[in-house]
Amino acid sequence: MIIHTVKLDELISDIADFYNVTIEEIIELNKLPNPKNLLVGQSLIIPEKETIHIVKPGETLYEISEKYGVSLEDLLIINNIESPYTLYSDTQLIIPYKQKPEIDVNAYIYNLGESAIPIVKERGKNLSFLSPFAYLIDENGNLNKIKDKQAINSAYEENVAPMMTITNFTVNEKGENVAHIVLNDHRVQEKLIKNIVHIIKEKEYKGLNVDFENVYPQDRESYNRFLKLVVDRMHDEGYFVSTALAPKTSEEQMGQLYEAHDYKAHGDLADFVILMTYEWGYRMGPPRAISPINEIKKVLDYAVTVIPKDKIYFGFQIYARDWLLPYKEGQEAETFSTQEAIKRAAKYGAEIKYDTVAQSPYYRYEDEKGRLHEVWFEDARSAQSKFDLVKDYNLKGISYWVLGYPFPQNWELLNDNFNIKKFPYSN
């Protein structure tokens, strides 16, 4: 794919003509709500036509393969060139696409029950794992019931492995006290693990994701011991275990969100870890990029020193936020999809800007009541910058938070950048 940023007075027909594609292709790939009203600064993905190379005098096939970053073998096969490799000037060679790395892709989903079915059916082709969110633990080691069977069944139909998620927190409760009790009472832990195994078998999950957040710093070693107990028991039963980790930049990072998350211990114990590299632009905090690349790089720079790269999943949020200005403490931003962000910008005639440091689009607008707003969201450019990080750091996979927010450009670019590992699991 090519990423194009719309300029002033540019029409979709101009863009289609320039790239020699149809208007319909652009509309379909980007799911444009109003193709006649493109926004200045809006990013579009354009299907790239095959590349043709005209052979220059003296050029070798090896030099051409090096120039385009493709294998010599692929170059020979796609152009039907057989030994001896005689190459003539002005010959037209088709340049094959670069080999795409293979990664795992997980996605959390909290639209459960019947509403999960169309979401999973639409996105299943892009996923390796699906994680219904979530089984909430209590201080006695019990787990609440959730309506996850529809999501699980749909996952299997799409050849996606369902992953059970347990957590200690809710939107309104941090859950630190529950975590403290569970992590320091062996009898509660035994009961919890028994309940986990029962649900995994009953619902036919393939593995477990442990998402304990806001754990007291003094419970760090207790968390590590609990995790080892869980991993050993799950492995004995034939299940994998992953964990979700706050975005730390060093071992010494202070704060209740970070201190109890021991990157090295989790990297040693778990089969893989999900780095929650998002929420800098927190819904209760001041406006800023939700997933700024400059901050994410700091997390990755630290993570790869203590966790094997082939165990790290890059956390990617796929929603937008709208803050009222001036920001007041305690004020909650509105959360919605990237598609809604584009519609809102069009409605209020906003020009989309791009923060090159954070690698994130944003804009401001004034509503009907004369109030100023600031919106941060994701687009093709910011998505590509994140995919580039996954490749640059040679990470194992990507984990999306959370399905249910339409972002069509993301999924097209995901498939353009990677081959997604699918699991031959049957229900």
CATH (domain of 135): 3.20.20.80
Is residue 266 domain-shared with residue 159, that is, in the same domain?
A: yes
Indicate whether 77 belongs to any domain.
yes
Q: Are 401 and 132 in contact (CB under 8 A)?
A: no
Q: Look at residue 425 in the predicted model and tell me its pLDDT.
A: 54
Indicate whether 426 belongs to any domain.
no
Provide the CATH number for the domain around residue 32. 3.10.350.10
Phi, then psi, of 217 in degrees rounded to 5: -55, -35
Is residue 324 domain-shared with residue 395, that is, in the same domain?
A: yes
Residue ranges making up the domain that contains 30: 2-46
Indicate whether 316 belongs to any domain.
yes
Best CA proximity match to 2, nearest among 47, 43, 51: 47
Indicate whether 32 belongs to any domain.
yes
Q: Are 402 and 108 in contact (CB under 8 A)?
A: yes
Is residue 156 domain-shared with residue 301, that is, in the same domain?
A: yes
Is residue 170 domain-shared with residue 79, that is, in the same domain?
A: no
Q: Look at residue 424 in the predicted model and tell me its pLDDT.
A: 66
- pLDDT tens for each residue of the chain, 427 residues long: 899 999 999 999 999 999 999 999 999 999 998 999 999 999 999 998 778 899 999 899 999 988 888 888 888 888 888 877 888 899 999 988 777 999 999 999 999 999 999 999 999 999 999 999 999 999 999 999 999 999 999 999 999 999 999 999 998 889 999 999 999 999 999 999 999 999 999 999 999 999 999 999 999 999 999 999 999 999 999 999 999 999 999 999 999 999 999 999 999 999 999 999 999 999 999 999 999 999 999 999 999 999 999 999 999 999 999 999 999 999 999 999 999 999 999 999 999 999 999 999 999 999 999 999 999 999 999 999 999 999 999 999 999 999 999 999 999 999 999 999 997 654 4
Indicate whether 425 belongs to any domain.
no
Tokens of 287: 């406006």
Is residue 185 domain-shared with residue 231, that is, in the same domain?
A: yes
Tokens of 229: 């107990």
Is residue 186 domain-shared with residue 310, that is, in the same domain?
A: yes
Q: Look at residue 141 in the predicted model and tell me its pLDDT.
A: 98
* Prediction pTM value: 0.91
Overall number of domains in the chain: 3
Unique residue bearing structure tokens 């009472």: 185
Q: Are 281 and 290 in contact (CB under 8 A)?
A: yes
Indicate whether 427 belongs to any domain.
no
- Residue 154, classified by CB atoms within 10 Å of its CB into exposed (0-12), middle (13-18) or buried (19+), is buried
Is residue 35 domain-shared with residue 87, that is, in the same domain?
A: no
Is residue 36 domain-shared with residue 128, that is, in the same domain?
A: no
Q: How far apart are the C-alpha atoms of 426 and 308, rounded to whole Å?
A: 30
Q: Where are the alpha helices (DSSP H) in 238-337?
A: 263-269, 293-306
Tokens of 268: 């040693």
Is residue 136 domain-shared with residue 40, that is, in the same domain?
A: no
Is residue 91 domain-shared with residue 158, that is, in the same domain?
A: no
Is residue 291 domain-shared with residue 208, that is, in the same domain?
A: yes
Indicate whether 295 belongs to any domain.
yes
Nearest 10 degrees: Cα torsion 314, 42, 344, 115: -40
Q: Would you name the residues annotated as active-site residues?
A: 213
Is residue 341 domain-shared with residue 314, that is, in the same domain?
A: yes
